[in-house]
Amino acid sequence: MTDIKKDTSQMGISHHTEVFKASDGCELFLRRWSSEQTNTAAHDRNNALAVFIVHGMGEHSLRYQELASHLVTALPPGSLVYCHDQRGHGQTAVRLGKGTEALGEVPCEHGLDPMSVMADDVVCMVTEKLPRGMEYLLIGHSMGSVVTRLALERLMQLDVPSPVGMLLSGPPASPGRLLHAIYQCLLWAIRSTSFGPSLASKIIFGGYDSQIRSLVKNPSLPQHSWLSINEDNVRKYTEDPFCGHDVSIDLWSSLLSNITKLNEGLTFGEMKEVSKVKVLVMGGADDMCTERGKGVHECAASLAEVPGLEVKQLLYSKARHEIWHETEDMRMEAVHDTIAWAKRCGQAGRRSRL
């Protein structure tokens, strides 16, 4: 483990960065936010919570600093928030020594499913970083919601603590078996071409932009407007060299396969006995990635079939894909709902120990 940076400049929040090794030795860049008081006083682990955030495709952990700061400020003293740069993203990709050229390439052993490997990374992060005796929550956004669901499956089968809550934001809608098969054929056809990753991004993300322009009847909306009504957020995303990059065909193929499998019904197999895990699935009503809420409903319905999960869902009127980056009123409503959910999870976890 290498401690790289400490930043205590925001809202009385300590921000640490470090690197941890996944089970296959891959080095993953990790951020941790905590109250400055956490560093001078012993954790009250009976009340504090650890939150593990899993970001989406074509972005990175630093984009969750505002949400992390709100959580650390609102949750009991000693609470911690973690978010790592997933394989092929952010500083994890850059550390491979190829600079931004490594963005979108998911290093894993040949033949392994990239999304499954990324889920194993989340399990490794939880088992390595969770303070003993502390309850924890999982939060996953978009592609990260798929990784998080796969990680939960593992955590509920292994001899490790299970989370008291899981929040999924903007879970992609299943394309359906026919369209999934068509997409996979297209991905196979362009796999060996140099333009394959770029074409896949244009077809899928470009399609979302076309749909939102049609919905709001504004053909001049800039690229990436499907992400948010918030023009400042769209501009920052577009200007960020670690956002909006292409990803490998293997990652696209893995993502589509896992979305289809999970949304059609998740089978956890043999599980240990767990207390109720509070699950909140949330998204924007005008999010093209979820097909305007279809993905939220599919995700919630499939998880509701899993024993031990208590599932609720929320849709935000007029909001798009990135609910924590929306305009002020929308953003703060989503943040307040996230905090309220986290507090309920913590209270339920404490009651289960009594």
pLDDT for the residue numbered 275: 64
Neighbours of 327 (CB within 10 A): 15
Tokens 């979302």 correspond to 208
Nearest to 153 by CA among 112, 110, 114, 122: 122
- CATH number of the domain at 168, please: 3.40.50.1820
Return the CA Rg of the chain: 19
3-state secondary structure of 96: coil
Residue 301's DSSP bridge partners are: none
Is a pLDDT exceeding 70 seen at residue 71? yes
Confidence of residue 3 (pLDDT cuts 50, 70, 90): very low
Which parts of 95-133 fold into alpha helices (H)?
A: 114-129
Is a pLDDT exceeding 60 seen at residue 267? no
Range of the domain at 286: 2-176+247-353
188 in Cβ contact with 196 (< 8 Å): no
Most confident range (mean pLDDT) of 157-161, 190-194, 302-306 is: 302-306
φ, ψ of residue 305 to 5 degrees: the values are -85, -10
Residue range 336-353: average pLDDT?
A: 84
Within-domain flag for 210: no
200 in Cβ contact with 246 (< 8 Å): yes
Task: Quote the percentage of the chain above a pLDDT of 70.
Answer: 89
Within-domain flag for 193: no
pLDDT for the residue numbered 319: 98
Note the Cα 320 to chain centre separation in Å.
16
Within-domain flag for 181: no
Residue 324's DSSP bridge partners are: none
Which parts of 130-226 fold into alpha helices (H)?
A: 143-155, 177-190, 196-216
Residue range 18-24: average pLDDT?
A: 95
The counts of H helices and E strands in the chain are 10, 9
Confidence of residue 273 (pLDDT cuts 50, 70, 90): low
Kindly state the tokens that stand for 220.
């001049």
Kindly state the tokens that stand for 24.
């296959």
Q: What letter represents residue 76's amino acid?
A: P
pLDDT in tens, 131-187: 999 999 999 999 999 999 999 999 988 888 899 999 999 999 998 888 888 888 988
Within-domain flag for 196: no
Lowest mean pLDDT among 5-9, 178-182, 218-222, 269-273: 5-9
Whole-angstrom distance, CA of residue 259 vs CA of residue 109: 22
Neighbours of 201 (CB within 10 A): 18
Whole-angstrom distance, CA of residue 244 vs CA of residue 100: 12
The count of structural domains within the chain is 1
179 in Cβ contact with 269 (< 8 Å): no
299 in Cβ contact with 145 (< 8 Å): yes
H/E stretch holding 255 reads helix 249-263
Within-domain flag for 276: yes
Whole-angstrom distance, CA of residue 26 vs CA of residue 106: 10
pLDDT for the residue numbered 300: 96
Within-domain flag for 226: no
The mean pLDDT of the chain is 90
Within-domain flag for 213: no
pLDDT in tens, 106-123: 988 877 999 999 999 999
The β-bridge relationship of strands 80-84 and 13-21 is unpaired
Within-domain flag for 223: no
